[in-house]
Structure 1
Amino acid sequence: MSEPVVALRAVSYAYEDGPTVLSGLDFDVVEGRALALLGRNGSGKTTLMRLLSGGLRPAAGELTVDGVPVTYNRKGLTRLRTTVQLVVQDPDDQLFAASVEQDVSFGPLNLGLPDTEVRARVAEALAALDIVALADRPTHLLSYGQRKRTAIAGAVAMRPRVLILDEPTAGLDPDGQERLLTTLQGLRDTGTTVVMATHDVDLALRWADDAALLTPSGVRTGPVAAMLARRDLLTQAGLHLPWGIAVGELLRTHGLWAGAGQGPRTAEELAALAAGTQLGGVSGASGRRGL
């Protein structure tokens, strides 16, 4: 297996006058793999994301980029932040400039890039998030979904290899969620590795390649369908079985589907499965049409 882009090695962290949140943690972000980070409130998801992005420094252990330990001086943190960007859950905690364009340009300007390069990065980020028309809009006049996109655009303008998003679909209506997921797929297609913290197991099953479950016994990571079928780990993480996996198990139990794999992930895939298997009888590989 290739070296992870970013990794935590034997990392521990405790907040001042508080209990240890993470202890002896090993965690990898593998390039090109969409990763869903799941766990109950207080499980350490936010701490983990801030450790990966350099917002927090481990009390023990180390953070590495391409196998090289990160140094927490100006040079080391600049290197880290051109590799990893974190977008927090509430965009109002991240936006501060007067206009969308000014906010998105903040990071590249702080890198000391030439004006032409800054303008190119801003234009690229605005286009990627489909907010070109909002460039001159005051940030305080944006809708919640527009503020979310602007916050992500500010991170994308840094051209990170890894983009970490904390609950990016929270507070969005269904159409807004779909548009954001389409945007994230576009970023993945152009080489950005995306890590998403979420409580939505159905979204994780549909979107991610891998899932990391934060449990009291540690972090368990693996292919998303396999991880989200583990009832023991889901219970420890305070999560429920995803809709698609539950439906797949029900269909097999009643002899309505004999196909392999994770089963349907969406209502559309269930409809395709029903058409392929002619539910009510048993079919094999042909029943996986459209999955």
Structure 2
Amino acid sequence: MSVPLVSLRGARYAYEDGPTVLDGLDFDVAEGRALALLGRNGSGKTTLMRLLSGGLRPDAGQLSVDGTPVTYDRKGLLRLRTSVQLVVQDPDDQLFAASVAQDVSFGPLNLGLPEPEVRARVAEALAALDIARLADRPTHLLSYGQRKRAAIAGAVAMRPRVLILDEPTAGLDPDGQERLLDTLSRLRASGTTVVMATHDVDLALRWADDAALLTPSGARTGPAPALLSRHQLLAEAGLRLPWGVAVEGVLRARGLAPVDGELPRTAEELVQLLGVRRV
């Protein structure tokens, strides 16, 4: 069995003067897979993401990258953050520089890279997020969707192997969501492993290879279509059944499921399927 790109073993974390959020958690991020992280509010998603990215240190347990334990000194954290980057849900919590290019350059500059390398990384990240035209735009004049992209570009400029996104589609209109998903597809094609925390089970079913559900009895991880079809597990995680799973059941029951090809995961795909079958 291959070594996970990032793994937590026996992780425990409790906030000061608060309850224990995670205890005895084992969690893996496999290289090259799109992973959706789901769970009810308070289940520990944000805490887990911060543990994976080094923003928090577990009270017990071990974080490893490529099988090598992470150390929490300056050198160890720098090494971790060149491998794993977290983008928080609200871009205004992450953007602070006067212009987009200045903000995106912050991480590479902190790595001590030479100026030509920093410029190259900024240009690469802006192009990857399709915001090169906004390089000199003041961050406070950006739309919400543009601020989301700028925040992600700042993480991409670090060239991480794992990009962790907290609710990246929240607050975006349908067109903005589709454009962001296209961007994530391009990042994955270039070799970036993407982890997305979301409450949207339909998005998780459509987008992810694997899903991880945080439940009161621990984390449950597996291929997204199989895991998101388990009614009892979804209920335990405080989630509803995905639309695509429900539609799949109806199509199979009525003999309308395609013999070859994938079942519909969106309303548009369902209309196309039924149109082809002239139903």
TM-score (norm 2): 0.97
Counterpart amino acid of residue 156 in structure 2: V
CA gap 1:251/1:10 in 2 versus in 1, 3 angstroms? same
The 2-side partners of 1:261 and 1:124 are apart by 35
Asked if 2 retains the 8 angstrom alpha-carbon contact of 1:21 and 1:43, the reply is yes
What is the SS of the residue equivalent to 1:127? helix
Which residue matches 2:264? Answer: 264
Give RMSD over aligned pairs: 1.4
Give the drift of 1:255. Answer: 3.5
Percent identity, please. Answer: 80
The 2-side partners of 1:175 and 1:120 are apart by 29
Which residue matches 1:31? Answer: 31
Q: What are the superposed Cα offsets for residues 20-45 of structure 1, whole Å, 9 maximum, x if unpaired?
A: 11011110000000000000000000
Q: What are the superposed Cα offsets for residues 228-282 of structure 1, whole Å, 9 maximum, x if unpaired?
A: 0000111011111111110010122234337589731012321343245454xxx
Which residue matches 1:47? Answer: 47
CA gap 1:264/1:7 in 2 versus in 1, 3 angstroms? same
Counterpart amino acid of residue 37 in structure 2: L
Q: What are the superposed Cα offsets for residues 106-135 of structure 1, whole Å, 9 maximum, x if unpaired?
A: 000000000010000000000000111110
CA gap 1:258/1:135 in 2 versus in 1, 3 angstroms? closer
The 2-side partners of 1:275 and 1:188 are apart by 32
The 1-side partners of 2:4 and 2:196 are apart by 17
Which residue matches 2:163? Answer: 163
Give the drift of 1:146. Answer: 0.5
Which residue matches 2:86? Answer: 86
Which residue matches 1:238? Answer: 238
Out of 252-261 and 204-213, give the one that drifted further: 252-261
Q: How many residues align?
A: 279
The 2-side partners of 1:276 and 1:145 are apart by 35
CA gap 1:47/1:262 in 2 versus in 1, 3 angstroms? farther
Which one scores higher on RCO, CA 8 angstroms, separation ≥ 6?
2
Asked if 1 retains the 8 angstrom alpha-carbon contact of 2:257 and 2:263, the reply is no
The 2-side partners of 1:35 and 1:262 are apart by 19
Q: What are the superposed Cα offsets for residues 174-233 of structure 1, whole Å, 9 maximum, x if unpaired?
A: 110011000000100000000000000110111000000011010000000001000011
Asked if 2 retains the 8 angstrom alpha-carbon contact of 1:164 and 1:194, the reply is yes
What is the SS of the residue equivalent to 2:40? coil
TM-score (norm 1): 0.93
What is the SS of the residue equivalent to 1:164? strand
Unaligned runs of 5+ in 1: 280-291
What is the SS of the residue equivalent to 2:80? helix
The 2-side partners of 1:139 and 1:51 are apart by 28
The 1-side partners of 2:9 and 2:80 are apart by 16
The 1-side partners of 2:185 and 2:254 are apart by 35
Asked if 1 retains the 8 angstrom alpha-carbon contact of 2:101 and 2:135, the reply is yes
Counterpart amino acid of residue 168 in structure 1: P
Q: What are the superposed Cα offsets for residues 65-121 of structure 1, whole Å, 9 maximum, x if unpaired?
A: 000100000110000000000000000000010110000000000000000100000
The answer to whether residue 13 in structure 2 is matched with residue 13 in structure 1 is yes
Asked if 2 retains the 8 angstrom alpha-carbon contact of 1:244 and 1:262, the reply is no
Counterpart amino acid of residue 4 in structure 2: P
Which residue matches 1:127? Answer: 127
Which residue matches 1:285? Answer: none
Q: What are the superposed Cα offsets for residues 130-175 of structure 1, whole Å, 9 maximum, x if unpaired?
A: 1111101111111100100000000000000000000000000011
Asked if 2 retains the 8 angstrom alpha-carbon contact of 1:163 and 1:194, the reply is yes
Unaligned runs of 5+ in 2: none
Asked if 2 retains the 8 angstrom alpha-carbon contact of 1:33 and 1:194, the reply is yes
